[in-house]
Structure formats: structure tokens, C-alpha cells
Structure 1
Amino acid sequence: MDVDADVDAVADELYGLVPGRFTQARDERAAGARKAGQAQAARAIAGLRRPTRAAFASNLLVRRRPTEVAAFLELGEALRRAHRSLDGTQLKDLSHRRHVVVAALARTARQLAEEEGQAVGDSAAHEVEQTLHAALADPDAAAQWSSGRLTTALTPPVGFAELSATAPERPRPAVARAGAAAKPKPSREAEQRRARYEQARRKAAETGVEATAREAELRGAEQEQREHDQALGEADARVAELERQLREARTGQDEARRALAEATDRVRAAARAAGAARRKADAAADRLAELPGAQEQ
């Protein structure tokens, strides 16, 4: 029995759940491991920490957007290489792309979390951005982030969030020790080929990251379009229903007016008939009173 594999499988499952379901599910899995006699696995599972809202959003991004994650990790490697080589021009270009991609992925993470019913406030959204900056700056942080099992937000190293647009002067190479064998200097043509290859490789990575950012923005815009289209459809349906009810109400109003007019006519006719009948009755009573013998009755 591979205890680590069992714990990994449970951790993958748990960190894919919304935070509100995490604790109960974790305790159930730990209890199941203890019942199965896996005391070591039970202790490891019970020790798993519930993720914060920002960590959940970051984990969800890793799990739902693997293509963007791969391109983002490549951007981090390119940034760290440029930082080590003190390549000011490349740092300036990559730094701009970093801000674009981080903003796009942070928006995507926030949207994914909200689709799961987990509102991400401004503070948590800032923590998601800080986590992304940390993943770009440090390979260990990148490994933690890309595992999809964060419990809390990561913090980038001081100064990384404001990479310099220009690099300091390169240190001069040390003088070779006396007697040390000198390495053959590459030909100018070989250096140019290598420079062209490296430039093309960096450009391919950068354009891939840029395309990923734009695709993330496109998905966000498409989602927003779908939501507005759905809202419009619901509004149209509501308007149609209200118009139908209005037509029925107007029809009922017209019928009520006709019925009222007919009833008014009947009342008037009945009133005339009643008046005529009353007059006839009064006349008949008067004639009866005038007849001989009426006084004797």
C-alpha cells in the first residue's frame, strides 16, 4: 500500500472543493483512513489545512487552465534568466508582459471562483495577484502554486514586483589563472546564430504568453457576453409575458365596459318599465276609488 499516493489522491480531491466543504470532507476521509487501519495516512489527511479564499481561487486557476499555467511558468523562467543575466532590454519587455498576464490570470481566477459561488473581494484578489508574482519570481513558489494545493497566498520576494527597466553594468570577467587552459572562443558566425536562436526562442515564449493573456481576456469577454445575452433573453421573456397580461387586462377592461353599458341600459329600461307600471297601478287604483260602492268596501 502506497500511503503517500493515497494521501496525494485525497489532497487532490480536497483542494478541488470549495472552502466551505473542505473541513467536513477532510474529516470524513481521515476517519475512513483510520477505520481502514491506515493510521499514518489518517494523520497526514487530518493535518491538511483548509485553503483561504485567495488560495482556493489560485488552485482553481491551476486546475482549470493548464495551458495558461504552462505558458505562465515559461514566462517565470524567462524573467528569472533575464534577471540573472542583467539583460535590461529583455527585463523591460518581460516586465510589461508580466503585468499584463498577471492581471489577466487574476481576473480569470476571480471569475472561476465566483462561478463556484465563492465571491472574491478586492483583498483576496490582491492576494491572488501576489501569489502569481511569487510564482514568477521563485521556482519553489512556482512549484507550490502549480501543484494546485495552496492553503494560503504566496508572497513575492521584496523588489520583484518592481523589476528595473534597465540593468546594472555587467561585471567584467575575471582574468584567467595563469596556466589555465583557455577555452576556444566561438566564431562570430556561431555567436550570431546562437543569438538569433535565443532571440527567436524568447520571442516564441513571450508571444505564447501574450496570446494566453489575450485568450483569457477573450474568455472573460465571451462569458460576460453570454451573461448579458441570457439577461436580455430573460428580460425579453418577461416583457412578452407582461405584454400578454396587459392585452388580457385590456380585453377584460373592454368586456367590463361593454357589460357595464349593457347593465346600465337594462337598469334604465327597467326603471322606465317600473315607472310606467307604477303609474298604471296608481291610475287603476284611482279609477277603482271612483267607482260606485267603492266607499262601501
Structure 2
Amino acid sequence: MDVEQVIEELYGLRPEEFTAARDAYVAEARKEGDTDAVKAVSGLRRPTTAAWVSNLFVRERRSDVDRLLALGETLREAHRTLDPAKMREASGQRHKVVAALAREAAGPARDAGQPVSDAVLHDVEQIFHAVLASSDIAEQWATGRLVKAPAVPVGFGEVVPEVAVPRSESAKPSKPAKSPKPAAKHASTAEAERRERARTEAEAAAAEARARDEALHAAEEERSSAQAEVVAADESVTELERQLKEAEQAKRAARDAAAEAEKAAKEAGRAARDAHRAADRARSKLERSAD
């Protein structure tokens, strides 16, 4: 079995098709006695919907994939060199590009008949952010075989503030800004708090969705493993039944052969006795003739 080809095929299937196809290949490899293939294929994990959407995007939109990989190299280089200008420019591109590419990624998935919810789209964006943050994740992502959304390194991609003007370049202190009117200040604070609460609730809902998705994924993996064990047990029972049937057939054949041999022995015994009697009569006749 060509394991590499099997893996490539499996991660191109829709998530709900993955487990059955994988188990079928495991059964085929087990029947062929290919233990290495059994181990490699049975260990493959079903991708989450977001990971599958991302994998499909990698397979079908290579130009966009190259664009994201190039932006990731620019961002990581800016962080390594701590170049404020490059970091501001790359960070500004980052959110726009990720949001746009996530929407683009939903297109092929929907064309393939897979619905893409807002929660899934959010996880696709997280995958793209992680790709930008880590060269290792980018390399793994580019294979089109992700299983779930990787975590984005903390603090990566934050926009760097403008460098403060040195005090010597600002001889005259600027006039203090007028304090906003109490009502306007209160309204602004309330709006900011409302936005913060909305953002917190959205993040909590997205986290809950991801947790549920992970729980579903784990349950499906357990079910898949159990089904694979059932298949293996069924195959063992079938093989033992076949061996038992062959042994019973061999036993019957041996009994038949033994019966035939016993019959032949009896006939040979009778023939030998008849021959001895005939020999005795001939000898007696000969003796009488001699007298």
C-alpha cells in the first residue's frame, strides 16, 4: 500500500467521509499483512471542519498560499530585527489579508457542499494567524494535512506604537488638552465598555465552540478506534471460523480415508486367506498325484 498516497487522499476528503475511508484502508492493509501501513494509517486523525477548509484552500489556491507565506516571512523578519516601521506595515497588512483569505477559503468548501459557519471561519483565521507567526506551523500548513487549528504565539503581530519624540526636540511644551465634558466622557467610556464586553463575549463564544469541536473530535476518534477494534475482532473471528471449517473438513477427509483403508485391509486379508487355501489345495493335489 502506498501510504503517502493514501494520506494525501484522506485529507482531501470532507471531514464526515474521513473516518470510514481511513478504516477501510486499515482493513485493506491488515488483510495484506502490511503492519507498517496499518500503524501509519490507523494513527491518522480526522481534521476539524476549520482544518479541512484550510487544507482545501492550500490545495486549490496556491497563489494565495504563497502570498500568505511571504507575508509570514516578512512579519517574522520584522520581529527578529525589531524594525518598528516594518512591523507596523506588516501588522497592518496582516489582519486585512487574513480576513480576506479566510473569506476566500470558505468558497471552495461551500462549493464542495460543506457549510462554513462564523465559528469555523474564526478558526480558519486563527490558523492563518498561526501560519504567519511560526515557520514550523507554516511548513506543516503548506502540506494541506492540518488536523486542528494551532495556537497563535502570544504577543505576535501586535502593532508597534510610534517612537516617542525626544524631549530635546520639543522645547516648548504643548498646551494641555481640554478635558472632555463629563457627559461626553461618560458616553465614550460606556461605549468602550460595551465594545469590550461584546469582544469578550465573542471570544468566549468562539472558545466554547472550539472546545465543543474538540470534544466532538475526541469522541469521534474514540468511536473510530472502537469501530476499528470491532472490525479487527470480526476479521479474527472470520479467520478462526475459516480455520475451524478447514480443520473439520480435514478431519472428515481423514476419517473417510481411514475407513477406506480399513475396508481395503479387510479385503486384502480375505484375499490373502483365499490365496493360502488355494495354495494348500494345490499342494495337496500335487502330493496325491505323486503317490
Q: TM-score, normalised by structure 2?
A: 0.54
Post-superposition offset of 1:7: 2.0
Indicate if the aligned counterparts of 1:34 and 1:42 stay in contact, CA closer than 8 A.
yes
Paired residues for 1:179-218 under 5 Å? none
Q: Which residue of 1 aligns with 2:116?
A: 120
Q: Which residue of 2 aligns with 1:139?
A: 135
1:88 and 2:84 matched:
yes
Deviations 1:228-276 (A, max 9, x none): xxxxxxxxxxxxxxxxxxxxxxxxxxxxxxxxxxxxxxxxxxxxxxxxx
Indicate if the aligned counterparts of 1:62 and 1:148 stay in contact, CA closer than 8 A.
yes
Cα separation, 1, equivalents of 2:57 and 2:97: 13
Q: Which residue of 1 aligns with 2:192?
A: none
Q: Which residue of 2 aligns with 1:42?
A: 38
Shift of the 7–154 alpha-carbon distance from structure 1 to 2, 3 Å rule, reads same
Q: Which residue of 1 aligns with 2:145?
A: 149
1:23 and 2:19 matched:
yes
Post-superposition offset of 1:47: 1.1
Q: Which residue of 2 aligns with 1:69?
A: 65
Deviations 1:192-214 (A, max 9, x none): xxxxxxxxxxxxxxxxxxxxxxx
Query: Partner of 1:119: helix, strand, or coil?
Result: coil
Shift of the 19–167 alpha-carbon distance from structure 1 to 2, 3 Å rule, reads farther
Query: Partner of 1:162: helix, strand, or coil?
Result: coil
Post-superposition offset of 1:166: 4.6
Cα separation, 2, equivalents of 1:105 and 1:80: 19
Cα separation, 1, equivalents of 2:71 and 2:136: 15
Indicate if the aligned counterparts of 2:102 and 2:121 stay in contact, CA closer than 8 A.
yes
Name which of 109, 124, 140 aligns with 2:105. Answer: 109
Cα separation, 1, equivalents of 2:139 and 2:160: 25
Cα separation, 2, equivalents of 1:113 and 1:167: 43
1:57 and 2:56 matched:
no
Indicate if the aligned counterparts of 1:110 and 1:120 stay in contact, CA closer than 8 A.
yes
Q: Which amino acid aligns with 1:111?
A: G
Cα separation, 2, equivalents of 1:159 and 1:46: 37
Q: Which residue of 1 aligns with 2:270?
A: none
Query: Partner of 1:96: helix, strand, or coil?
Result: helix
Q: TM-score, normalised by structure 1?
A: 0.53
Q: Which residue of 2 aligns with 1:160?
A: 156
Deviations 1:105-150 (A, max 9, x none): 1001112211111111111111100110000000111112111001
Cα separation, 1, equivalents of 2:85 and 2:106: 32
Q: Which amino acid aligns with 1:133?
A: H
5+ long unaligned stretches in structure 2: 165-291
Q: Which amino acid aligns with 2:73?
A: E
Post-superposition offset of 1:85: 0.7
Cα separation, 1, equivalents of 2:27 and 2:151: 34
Q: Which amino acid aligns with 2:16?
A: G
Number of corresponding residues: 164
Q: Which amino acid aligns with 1:43?
A: K
Rg (Cα) greater in structure: 1
Query: Partner of 1:104: helix, strand, or coil?
Result: helix
Output the aligned Cα RMSD: 1.7
Post-superposition offset of 1:14: 0.3
